[in-house]
Amino acid sequence: MTFAAWVNALLGLVNTVAAPAIVTLAFIVFLWGVVNYFFLNGGNEDKRVEGRQFMIWGILGMVLLFGVWGVVNLIVATLGFSS
């Protein structure tokens, strides 16, 4: 198996398993923050701050993942590994 075949197999695995799993996890963290901020802890300001932090970290996780995913796909396409 050639190096390009290994890279394509790894990219296929990342694109079909790892990336969706991480996006799902980041979205769940964001939703947990929304639930904590708006529904569970409406009167407790400390818990609302915690919910806001979950929302921020969820959004940052998704933005970071999509940014890195885009850069990696750009590099792979530039080097000619994509099929």
Specify the pLDDT at position 15.
77
Please give the pLDDT value at position 59: 96
What is the C-alpha separation between 81 and 74, in angstroms, rounded? 10
Q: Which residues of the chain have pLDDT under 50?
A: none
Spatial distance between the Cα atoms of 79 and 1, rounded to a whole number of angstroms: 18
pLDDT at 72: 82
